[in-house]
Structures are given as C-alpha cells and as structure tokens.
Structure 1
Amino acid sequence: MTAAFQASLLALDEELAIGPLGDTVRRTHLAHGAWIDLRPGWLAGADELYERLAETVPWHAERRHMYDRVVDVPRLLKFYDEHETLPHPVLDEARRALDLHYGDELGEPFRTAGLCFYRDGRDSVAWHGDTIGRGSTEDTMVAILSVGDPRSLLLRPRGGGSSIRHDLGHGDLIVMGGSCQRTWEHAIPKTSRPAGPRISIQFRPRGVR
C-alpha cells in the first residue's frame, strides 16, 4: 500500500515557482574529478507539482532481466525525449534555468527528462551511474529535482567505499557533475521506516541515460 503524501508545512500557500540559482547553489567536490551541487527548496510550491505529476503523468511499470529471472522494477517510470512536451510548464522553466546556469560549464543544453515515482519505502533504485551512452566515457551532468516526501539519495565511489547521504524532496535540487557518473554511484535504498511518495525529475543532455 502506498503511504499517504504529507505536504510540507513550509510549502503551504506558496506559489509554484522556480527560485534563483547563482550563489544559492552549494558545490561539494568529490574524489576523481566528480562534484555535486545542492540547492535546497529550489522549487517553491513543490507539493502542488507533486500532486499534478502523480495524477496526470502516464506512469508505467517495467520488468527487467536480473541474473536468471525477470523482476519488477521497484518504481514507476516515464521518460520524456527531447521532442516530447513535458507534463507541466514549470519543468520547461526549470530546464531553461538549468541551461542558463550550467550552459557554459556543461557546453550543451539539457535535453531530456526522466521521471521516477517512488510510491513508498519499498520502491528503490540500486547502486548505479548513468553510463548508458556518453556518460560512460565523458564528463557530463545530471540534474535531479525532487518533489514529494524526502527520500535518502546515497553516493559512494564506484567499487565501494563510504557513502554520502542527502535527503531530497519538497523542491530540492541536486546536480551530479564532472566524472560523477563514471567514478561514483548513487542509489535510493529501500527503507522500513515510514516513507511517503516522492517523484524525481532527472534532466540530462542528449545521449546520456
């Protein structure tokens, strides 16, 4: 059963709007040329966007081969390619703001948006890097906007090591850049603690999955 969504008390009566980036972004340099940027509460009124996406996005479940069997992917998914209309105008605004802030450093615009719906603490994503396509050989960026209840995103060096944890939700932004997709891994682990639903929106450049 999916846990009930708990709106943020700080988000009550907030108008849905993207905030500034600039010097509000906090960068942390990791090992091996990787880095992450954090911008808590980048999207004001994020709970409204969560409700709209949860109700209107054509979510679908996937099944994938794992070892010798086919298993359910423990989250719902929707991918918007670069020529598809995003499900809410504020996501177009978010992508434009990311392009303006990161364009010179990235050298290209963000093109696609992948959405994941974590319905409760049983939904998760295992340790991985976005290395399908150019991310396996080139430095790139993946920008993740989180709406809904916070869930823990963990990062660790590829091959193992101590992990870094960030609880993301209610309009928080994290950007993984440099060599992060090749030299680090990230995950949303399952949790037995009460966890409400969360949606992540991952903006990527062309050819990065």
Structure 2
Amino acid sequence: MQFQADLFESGLQTGGPGPLAPDRTDLGRGAWLDVQRAWLPDADDVLATLVRDVPWRIERREMYDRIVDIPRLLYTYMIGEELPHPALTAAREALGDHYEPELGERFRTAGCCYYRDGRDSVAWHGDTIGRGSTHDTMVAIVSVGDPRRLALRPRGGGESLSVEMGHGDLVVMGGTCQRTFEHAVPKVASAGPRLSVQFRPFNVF
C-alpha cells in the first residue's frame, strides 16, 4: 500500500499553522496515520534556523561488536525548554489543542533529527520506551527540507506502506501504532538535507 502525494490537499500557510484537518488512514490493529500537507508555516526559515541553532550531537551505539555513529544528528527539547523557532512552538500548541480531546494530554517534548543527505537514516523501530510500550499514544512529526519516505510495517509481518514527507508536512502516528507497527526512514541514493521534529507526550520515546 503506497500513499501518493496527490491524495492530500496542500497549500502554503502564512502566519501561524493553518487549521488542522488531516486525512486519517486506518492501518488496522487499532493503529492509524494522519497526514496534512504543507501545514507548517515559514518552513524555509524553520529549516535554516534548525540547521544553525540546534545544538546537534552525534550519538553512538554498539553494532556487530563495534561502536558506530548513528546515521543522523540528534537533539531533544525536553519539557520546559524553549523551541528554536516560534513556528514550532505554535505548531506544538495547535497540535495539543487538536489532539488533546483524543489523546487525553498534550505534546510535551520535541525530538529533532537531522538527515544530512541520503546516507542518513533510521532503522525499523517503534517508540516503545516508556508508556508507548503499553498504552495508546501519538507521535506527531513535522518535516522540513528534502522529501524523505517514512515506511511502516506491521510487527510480525504483513503489508507494508509508506508516505513521503515533504517540506512543511505533518504526519501523526496514533492509537496502537507504536506497539503494533514499526517505522523507518530508509537510506536513498541521493537527497538533500531534511529535518524532522517529533512532538511526543510525556514519557514516550
């Protein structure tokens, strides 16, 4: 199953984020995916600000008996930390206003990933550290920069799907998605810089 960009309405926003009216796809197993194109305003300025002002760090992990760099740069804004661009602060508040009746809480943290080129990626995983391992939750992703594919597959096997995340697009994974599905950003032959900001509730990683 493949999502095509022309299935979703798009349009440039000015000022604060426009009204939230995402298209929802039922993934089965209690999981769902919301998509809204070109939702984040000032996407060019947000991209430049994130590249310049976020204190990016390289993290390392053990793989096959050696320590390797994680293939992307990372930084997380924790509860109470000021976000680097007012459009992101406005986006977090708008997401909270829209989803709190369904989620039961607001988005509190903002994890940032910097994919410098097509070689940077994230492997298959679910956000199951913390409450995501046992409870329904949401992860709201805002993407700026070059388009990259967010791939999803059911845990234990089944039909996979993908959605291309473009400049200023919003994707929200909800319901059981973190427990019943895995997601990844695969490597590609060629791509320019792309940054994602993942808004999460408290104690979801």
Aligned: 1:124 with 2:121: yes
Other-structure match for 2:201: 205
Equivalent residue in structure 2 for 1:153, among 150, 155, 176:
150
Aligned counterparts, 1:19-30, within 5 A: 19-21=18-20, 24-30=21-27
Any conservation in 2 of the 1:16–1:43 contact (CA below 8 Å)?
A: no
Q: Shift of residue 67 of structure 1?
A: 4.0
Question: Structure 1 vs Structure 2: percent identity of aligned residues?
Answer: 63
Any conservation in 1 of the 2:42–2:87 contact (CA below 8 Å)?
A: no
Other-structure match for 2:37: 40
Other-structure match for 1:85: 82
Other-structure match for 2:56: 59
Instruction: Report the TM-score when normalising by structure 1.
Output: 0.89
Q: After alignment, is 110-119 or 62-71 more displaced?
A: 62-71
Q: Output the CA distance in 2 between the equivalents of 1:94 and 1:70.
A: 36
Q: Output the CA distance in 2 between the equivalents of 1:16 and 1:121.
A: 31
Q: Shift of residue 15 of structure 1?
A: 4.4
Any conservation in 2 of the 1:113–1:202 contact (CA below 8 Å)?
A: yes
Q: Output the CA distance in 2 between the equivalents of 1:75 and 1:142.
A: 19
Which whole-Å deviations, capped at 9, do the CAs of 1:166-206 have from their partners, x for residues lacking one? 110210000000000000010000011x2111000000000
Q: After alignment, is 156-165 or 27-36 more displaced?
A: 156-165
Unaligned 5+ segments in structure 2 are: 1-10
Other-structure match for 1:133: 130
Any conservation in 1 of the 2:18–2:39 contact (CA below 8 Å)?
A: yes
Equivalent residue in structure 2 for 1:107, among 101, 104, 107:
104
Following superposition, which runs of at least 4 residues in structure 1 exceed 4 angstroms of deviation? none
Q: Output the CA distance in 2 between the equivalents of 1:170 and 1:46.
A: 7
Tell me the secondary structure at the aligned position of residue 123 of structure 2: strand
Q: Shift of residue 165 of structure 1?
A: 1.1
Which whole-Å deviations, capped at 9, do the CAs of 1:56-85 have from their partners, x for residues lacking one? 111111101224221110000011111211
- Letter of the aligned partner of 1:20 in structure 2? P
Aligned counterparts, 1:10-25, within 5 A: 15=14, 17-21=16-20, 24-25=21-22
Question: What is the count of residue pairs matched by the alignment?
Answer: 195
Any conservation in 2 of the 1:169–1:198 contact (CA below 8 Å)?
A: no
Q: Output the CA distance in 1 between the equivalents of 2:193 and 2:16.
A: 21
Unaligned 5+ segments in structure 1 are: 1-9
Q: Shift of residue 120 of structure 1?
A: 0.4
Q: Aligned-pair RMSD on alpha carbons?
A: 1.4
Tell me the secondary structure at the aligned position of residue 104 of structure 1: helix
Q: Shift of residue 29 of structure 1?
A: 0.5
Instruction: Report the TM-score when normalising by structure 2.
Output: 0.91
